[in-house]
Amino acid sequence: MEFTAQQIADFLNGTVAGDPTVRVSGFSKIEEGQPGTLTFLANPKYEHYIYNTRASIALVNDSFEPSQPVSVTMVKTPDAYSALARLLSLYEQSKPVKSGIDATAFVSPTATIGEGCYIGAFAYIGDNASIGDGAHIYPFVYIGDNVQTGKNSIIYPHVTIYERCVVGACCIIHAGAVIGADGFGFAPQNGEYKKIAQIGNVVLEDNVEIGANTTIDRAVMGSTLIKRGVKLDNLIQIAHNVEVGEHTVMAAQTGIAGSTKVGAGCMFGGQVGLGGHISIGDGTQIGAQSGVISNTKAGSKIMGSPAIPVNKFMRSSVITPKLPDIWQTVNRLEKEIEELKKTVKQY
């Protein structure tokens, strides 16, 4: 499929600066722009690329004022990045859609499959499981007994959903994620550990996206709860009985210990660790690699391990490499003061 600059501008309610008849059939990054593709400029840091890009069309912000001549045709919209997102989404939706239940899939006779579902080869749907309308269940997905999934959810290959867990509507679960494995609960007993049965489940509300190989453990009792709109990146660990508030996002490799409650609208960098049984206020922002062991108030911005306010962390980080100098100076000053005290005493 090809589109002209004018067609794209019309779709986006934007305007064309340049040749409205130029055509594109794909996308490229601005630094790698190829003829016949559309690129975009949202971050001013990359502005210099637009003066030499070989792409045919560039999405730019209305506010963009070139400081040099540009040869690429520009499509101007109020927000180039979200305009791009709309185009990418359109492109994605043009892909052929899979449907039907593959003959090799294992579907329990007591399971319920909604209308318009795709159940891929070798997928496994357990007893009394219920798959919502329009779901995409890829090959090798394991849906345990009594699992429920909502409408239009997409579950990629090799996802495991243990028995009795619940997945909302319009969720996306990437390959290899494990939903509902046993929480890590053991009672010490005579120098050994006795397993505590984990009889709860995991509930993902609507519009949740779970990254590849992320693990979310079932509750010991009740539910580990991931609320509406939460986005979790890859290789994240969510322990038993954790709750994550609406529209919170976490970058990859973050880990949250048991029973911690995370508020709504939080943003965590990568490789963050949260202790157990704490409460993270709404809108908390936590820098990458931080370790958090106590409650945070709503709107906190923290970093470090243990985490402190981010501005304090930044200022301390600058000083840390000077520690050997500080140590040396303090030792020297100590001696100098001793000398001074002696000298002064003599008077």
Question: Does the footprint of a second copy cover residue 304 (CB under 8 A)?
Answer: yes
The separation between CA 231 and the C-alpha centre of its own chain, rounded to angstroms, equals 5
Q: At what angle do helices 5-12 and 80-93 cross, to 10 degrees?
A: 110
Among 12, 75, 178, 242, binds a second copy (CB under 8 A): 178
Q: Considering only residues 136-155, where is the footprint of a second copy by CB under 8 A? A: 138-140, 142
Which residues partner with 77 through β-bridges? 61
Question: Does the footprint of a second copy cover residue 54 (CB under 8 A)?
Answer: no
What single-letter amino acid sits at 8?
Answer: I
Q: Please state the closest distance from residue 335 (CB atom) to a second copy, in A.
A: 10
What single-letter amino acid sits at 132?
Answer: G
Q: Considering only residues 158-177, where is the footprint of a second copy by CB under 8 A? A: 158, 160, 162, 172, 174-176
DSSP-assigned letters across all residues of 81-132:
HHHHHHHHHHHHHTSPPP-EE-TT-EE-TT-EE-TT-EE-TT-EE-TT-EE-
Among 104, 110, 112, 294, binds a second copy (CB under 8 A): 104
Among residues 136, 240, 247, 277, the one annotated as catalytic is 240
DSSP for residue 138: -
Cβ proximity to a second copy: between 29 and 301 the closer is 29
Question: Does the footprint of a second copy cover residue 255 (CB under 8 A)?
Answer: yes
DSSP-assigned letters across all residues of 235-266:
T-EE-TT-EE-TT-EE-TT-EE-TT-EE-TT-
Size of the site for a second copy (CB under 8 A): 111
Q: Please state the closest distance from residue 205 (CB atom) to a second copy, in A.
A: 13
Cβ proximity to a second copy: between 148 and 214 the closer is 214
Question: Does the footprint of a second copy cover residue 97 (CB under 8 A)?
Answer: no
Q: Among this protein's residues, is 240 annotated catalytic? A: yes
Rounded Cα–Cα distance for residues 77 and 64 (Å): 10
Q: Considering only residues 192-221, where is the footprint of a second copy by CB under 8 A? A: 192-199, 207, 209, 211-213, 215, 217, 220-221
Question: Does the footprint of a second copy cover residue 247 (CB under 8 A)?
Answer: yes
Cβ atoms < 10 Å from Cβ of 45: 8
Among 6, 128, 130, 271, binds a second copy (CB under 8 A): 271
Q: Please state the closest distance from residue 263 (CB atom) to a second copy, in A.
A: 13
How many degrees, rounded to 5, is the angle at CA 273 between CA 269 and CA 278?
A: 115
Tell me which residues are annotated as active site.
240
